[in-house]
Amino acid sequence: MRGAFFEALLKLAERDERVFLVVGDLGFGVTEAFARRFPGQFLNAGVAEQNMTGIAAGLALTGKIVFTYSIANFPILRCLEQVRNDVCYHAANVKIVAVGGGFAYGSLGATHHATEDLAIMRALPEMTVVAPGDPVEAEAATDAIAAHAGPCYLRLGRAGESRVHRASIDFQLGKAIEVRSGNDLALISTGGLLETAVQVAEILQGDGLRARVLSMHTLKPLDVRAVLAATRETGGIFTLEEHSLIGGLGSAVAEILAESGESVVPFQRFALPPIFSCKVGTQEYLRAQNGLSAESLAEAVFSRLAEVRVLAARGVGS
């Protein structure tokens, strides 16, 4: 995803001299190409994320389209006051890009685990929150947030993610993408778990269940229509995210279901426990340790649906 983002950003800068990149003294392997080609549209603010964000807000208020870039929690949590007061309060045209969502930097420990970011960014006024599911979505999301006037948060994976989409996509902020059709259940994922969601759907298909897979790349604004359609048209809704159980995709979908006034189908959130991880390791290892492997998710979904069927057969509500 990181490579797709920078490819898109270079194209944007070629077309529009207002595009400006401010970084926190890292990512040289991917930022140097931009700095060489557009030295007048680039600034390394150093390891000073508060300054980076304040500078970005000032540039945006002079008419620039400013991207800030750093890893994991650094461009948001270390400078949250500046994000809130300098960027959001002024509705400044700043795009905050965090590379390494979830456990992408798993071996570096809890300080580099971005597992509360979506909840925090969702809560900020004026902020649009985007977590693309693969490199195709990452490239499209970069174009979309650049065209959107106002603060945006773009949560990326790290590198090496597989392409889930094999054809062109219709990417619109606030509109989910249906990756697979199906009416037995709906798997709604955000961010880097999109490939896992597809794998879960393939496993369940072997059990005779056709799963609808929705890539909910925008958490704010959320695609309410897609969620309610899944409520009416499928036999269960399951959210998948590499983020705390509190405040992310599952919470956003639950809010919609609770307030919709419609009959609610079986619903379950699959996410990370709201604790600091005491384990370190690869992203794949940490996902598996937290029940987010395709195999464990498929088993949990199947068990939940089987439980609902048994209860229904007994005349007990789900």
Q: Is residue 27 very low, low, confident or very high in pLDDT (cuts 50, 70, 90)?
A: confident
Confidence (pLDDT) at 28: 81
Please state, in angstroms and rounded to a whole number, the distance separating the CA atoms of residues 182 and 196.
17
Cα angle at 142 between 49 and 78, to 5 degrees?
15
Strands 211-215 and 177-180: antiparallel
What mean pLDDT comes out for the span 17-38? Answer: 93
Calculate the average pLDDT of the chain: 95
pLDDT > 70 in the chain, percent: 97
The answer to whether 63 touches 92, Cβ cutoff 8 Å, is no
Instruction: Please determine, for residue 313, whether its predicted confidence score (pLDDT) is greater than 70.
Output: no
What's the distance, Cα to Cα, between the start and end of the chain in Å? 39
Confidence (pLDDT) at 73: 94
pLDDT tens-digit map of 58-87 = 999 999 999 999 998 999 999 999 999 999
Which of 4-8, 305-309, 310-314 is the least confident region?
310-314
Please state, in angstroms and rounded to a whole number, the distance separating the CA atoms of residues 156 and 147.
18
Instruction: Please determine, for residue 189, whether its predicted confidence score (pLDDT) is greater than 90.
Output: yes
Confidence (pLDDT) at 29: 84
pTM exceeds 0.85, yes or no: yes
Please state, in angstroms and rounded to a whole number, the distance separating the CA atoms of residues 249 and 232.
19
What mean pLDDT comes out for the span 118-138? Answer: 98
Q: Is residue 312 very low, low, confident or very high in pLDDT (cuts 50, 70, 90)?
A: low
pLDDT tens-digit map of 194-205 = 999 999 999 999
Q: Is residue 314 very low, low, confident or very high in pLDDT (cuts 50, 70, 90)?
A: low
Q: Is residue 23 very low, low, confident or very high in pLDDT (cuts 50, 70, 90)?
A: very high
Instruction: Please determine, for residue 190, whether its predicted confidence score (pLDDT) is greater than 50.
Output: yes
| Per-position DSSP letters for the chain, written without gaps between them | -HHHHHHHHHHHHHH-TTEEEEE-S--HHHHHHHHHH-GGGEEE--S-HHHHHHHHHHHHTTT-EEEEEEETTTTTTTTHHHIIIIIITTT--EEEEEES-BTTTGGG-GGG-B-SHHHHHHHSTT-EEE--SSHHHHHHHHHHHHHS-S-EEEEE--S-PPP---S----BTTB-EEEE--SSEEEEE-GGGHHHHHHHHHHHHTTT--EEEEE--EEES--HHHHHHHHHHSS-EEEEEEEESSSSHHHHHHHHHHHS-SPPPPEEEEEE-SS--S----HHHHHHHTT-SHHHHHHHHHHHHHHHHHHHHTT---
Q: Give the tokens for residue 97.
A: 């890009």
pLDDT tens-digit map of 230-252 = 999 999 999 999 999 999 999 99
Please state, in angstroms and rounded to a whole number, the distance separating the CA atoms of residues 158 and 100.
5
Confidence (pLDDT) at 264: 79
Confidence (pLDDT) at 318: 44
Confidence (pLDDT) at 38: 97
pLDDT tens-digit map of 138-158 = 999 999 999 999 999 999 998
Confidence (pLDDT) at 262: 79
Domains and CATH numbers, the chain: 2-156 (3.40.50.970), 177-313 (3.40.50.920)
The answer to whether 161 touches 251, Cβ cutoff 8 Å, is no
